[in-house]
């Protein structure tokens, strides 16, 4: 059975394709994304308060490497098989090496609906994986050029809206603990699914606008937009196996690896690699990969996680 | 009654919202005294920019300054941004009060 939040996405998508008048105010979309990131941060922080943090450090190193590896892999595929020019390949690779909070949120919701537990550090992984791909992508596009304003860029990457909210939420959740969070619990935790549903309605509308670019380069975007997340998910699962994650944790790490950024990366890349065509990356990320991940990917990654832990290596 | 006015130049730039922080920093660096930014939407050769979400958002940036300053800013931006960004810019002659302000 398809999750109810995903039905909202489909409604938005159909409404957009049918050119309905439906439109959510941009301020609502922004507010919902703030809410979702804060809720994910708080939930992660609450869980982290119950465990020692030092053992997590090697895992953080591993997810940074995972982000870098996925960016390099995507770049190699786009240059050789995709025959894209260098700026376009580097820009698109950066999107795929980074992560999507919305996809992660749908994954969290999928697991929660089925009462499957996952490790609290997944929220930390989400935060950390957003950044390295941006840096690698820019280096791939222009080399370590003096023209690039690295100070400015890292300020935006590390203190952007996403990282600030996720880390800030985690700090609050960690400091407050379950009892401290009790007064705001019904807004942030119980309200999570409703907010996600509305957010996905808008995502459906956004995705429906990617059709024109998709028509232009449909076959290539389709092949890469479906193939890359599958490949990334398997690599993510392998990485998660090395960390001994639970099935829920494996599913989410595979989802993170398979997901592609459409907020932090496009904004940073637009400024740092202006010659790359933003329509191309976004059509692939939003038009193909995002819908694939939330409709098919997440259940598939969960199934793969159970196969990996139960069958092959047990 | 006649108002005592002076001539200045209004530089209007319609471009991608992603550029806003960069452009404002450059204006400050070039010594512009003030500016106005508003959200905008429209259609051009880079497709519909309907401001429905961040990546499709446009801004309209207005600066009132001397002709010379406006030309300096515009020629620099033309060189730097016209090729790769959605950007439309134009100058208009306007009359202002309080000349010390601009």
Tell me the pLDDT tens digit for each residue of B19-53.
999 999 999 999 998 999 999 988 877 666 665 55
Model confidence band, residue A311 (pLDDT cutoffs 50, 70, 90): low
Domains and CATH numbers, chain B: 7-95 (3.30.70.120)
Mutual angle of helices A132-142 and A122-129, in 10-degree steps: 20
* Residue A290 forms part of a structural domain: yes
* Residue A17 forms part of a structural domain: no
Q: What is the mean pLDDT of residues A211-216?
A: 79
ipTM of the complex: 0.76
Query: Residue A185's CB: how many other CB atoms inside 10 A?
Result: 13
Q: Please give the mean pLDDT across all residues of chain B.
A: 88
Task: Measure in Å the smallest separation between the Cα of B8 and chain A Cα atoms.
Answer: 31
* Residue A11 forms part of a structural domain: no
* Residue A4 forms part of a structural domain: no
User: What's the per-residue H, E or C state across A105-130?
Assistant: HHHHHHHHHCCCCCCCCHHHHHHHHC
* Residue A255 forms part of a structural domain: yes
* Residue A170 forms part of a structural domain: yes
* Residue A207 forms part of a structural domain: no
Nearest by CB to B22, which of A209, A271, A282? A271
Range of the domain at A83: 25-201+213-312
Q: What is the mean pLDDT of residues A5-17?
A: 96
Nearest by CB to A267, which of B54, B81, B85? B54
Chain B environment of A25 (Cβ under 8 Å): none
A299 vs A218, residue with greater confidence: A299
Give how many domains chain A has, as a whole number: 1
Q: What is the mean pLDDT of residues A95-123?
A: 95
Contact between residue A122 and residue A103 where contact means Cβ atoms under 8 Å apart: no
pLDDT of B55 = 66
- pLDDT of A314 higher than 50: no
* Residue A274 forms part of a structural domain: yes
Taking CA–CA distances from A152, the nearest residue in chain B reads B22
User: What's the per-residue H, E or C state across B9-59?
Assistant: EEEEEEEEHHHHHHHHHHHHHCCCCCCEEEEECEEECCEEECCCCHHHCEE
Interface with A, mutate which of B22, B55, B57, B86 (most A CBs under 10 A) = B55
CATH number at residue A37: 1.20.1530
Name which of B84, B74, B98, B100 is nearest B10 in CA terms.
B74
Name which of A170, A41, A158 is nearest A108 in CA terms.
A41
């Amino acid at each position: 059975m398809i999750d109810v939040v995903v039905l909202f996405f489909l409604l938005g998508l159909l409404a957009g394709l049918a050119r309905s008048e439906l439109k959510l105010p941009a301020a609502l979309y922004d507010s919902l994304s703030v809410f979702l990131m804060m809720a994910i941060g708080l939930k992660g922080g609450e869980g982290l308060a119950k465990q020692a943090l030092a053992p997590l450090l090697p895992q953080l190193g591993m997810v940074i490497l995972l982000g870098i590896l996925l960016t390099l892999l995507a770049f190699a595929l786009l240059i050789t098989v995709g025959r894209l020019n260098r700026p376009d390949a580097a820009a698109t690779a950066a999107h795929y090496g980074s992560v999507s909070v919305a996809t992660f949120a749908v994954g969290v919701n999928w697991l929660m609906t089925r009462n499957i537990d996952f490790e609290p550090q997944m929220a930390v992984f989400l935060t950390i994986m957003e950044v390295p791909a941006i840096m690698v992508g820019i280096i791939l596009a222009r080399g370590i050029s003096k023209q690039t304003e690295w100070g400015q860029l890292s300020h935006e990457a590390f203190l952007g809206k996403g990282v600030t909210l996720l880390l800030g939420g985690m700090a609050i959740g960690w400091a407050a603990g379950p009892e401290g969070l009790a007064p705001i619990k019904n807004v942030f935790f119980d309200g999570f699914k409703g907010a996600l549903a509305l957010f996905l309605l808008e995502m459906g509308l956004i995705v429906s606008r990617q059709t024109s670019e998709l028509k232009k380069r449909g076959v290539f975007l389709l092949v890469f937009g479906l193939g890359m997340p599958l490949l990334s998910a398997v690599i993510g699962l392998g990485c998660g196996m090395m960390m001994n994650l639970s099935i829920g944790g494996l599913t989410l790490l595979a989802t993170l690896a398979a997901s592609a950024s459409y907020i932090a990366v496009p904004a940073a890349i637009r400024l740092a690699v202006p010659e790359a065509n933003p329509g191309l990356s976004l059509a692939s990320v939003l038009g193909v990969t995002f819908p694939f991940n939330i409709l098919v990917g997440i259940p598939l990654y969960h199934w793969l996680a159970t196969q990996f832990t139960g069958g092959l290596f047990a | 009654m006649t108002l005592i006015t002076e001539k200045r130049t209004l530089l209007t730039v319609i471009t991608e919202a992603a550029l806003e922080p960069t452009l404002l920093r450059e204006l400050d660096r070039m010594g512009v005294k003030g500016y106005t930014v508003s959200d905008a939407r429209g259609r051009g050769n880079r497709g519909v920019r309907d401001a429905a979400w961040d990546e499709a958002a446009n801004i309209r940036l207005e600066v009132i300054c001397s002709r010379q300053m406006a030309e300096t800013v515009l020629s620099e931006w033309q060189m730097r941004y016209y090729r790769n960004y959605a950007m439309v810019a134009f100058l208009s002659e306007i009359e202002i009060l309080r000349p010390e302000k601009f």
